């Protein structure tokens, strides 16, 4: 995970930068951890955090459902 300081532009595709910017710092951290733990993309994890909040058990259950299809 790359840390960016205030005023510094992230070096990620525009859509991913916009998505990450819409999450708070704690939410972005949860999304990164969820993506790694559940084996899903960061974008999928960010969507789950937006939909379900930052409760880890809820997020892991949602990620398992997402992976099952």
From CA 15, how far away is CA 68, in angstroms rounded?
25
Q: Residue 54 has what pLDDT?
A: 86
The answer as to whether 62 is a domain residue is yes
The answer as to whether 63 is a domain residue is yes
Name the domain count of the chain: 1
The answer as to whether 58 is a domain residue is yes
Tens-digit pLDDT profile for the chain (69 aa)?
Answer: 555 555 555 444 444 444 455 677 788 888 999 999 999 999 999 999 999 988 889 999 999 999 887
Q: Residue 66 has what pLDDT?
A: 93
Q: Which residues constitute the domain of residue 62? A: 24-68
The answer as to whether 32 is a domain residue is yes
The answer as to whether 12 is a domain residue is no
Q: At what angle do helices 25-38 and 56-68 cross, to 10 degrees?
A: 50
Tokens of 15: 């859509």
């Amino acid at each position: 995970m790359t840390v960016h300081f205030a005023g510094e532009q992230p070096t990620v595709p525009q859509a991913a930068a916009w998505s990450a910017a819409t999450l708070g710092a704690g939410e972005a951290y949860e999304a990164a951890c969820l993506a790694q733990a559940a084996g899903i993309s960061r974008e999928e994890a960010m969507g789950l955090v937006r939909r379900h909040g930052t409760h880890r058990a809820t997020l892991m259950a949602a990620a398992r459902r997402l992976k099952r299809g």
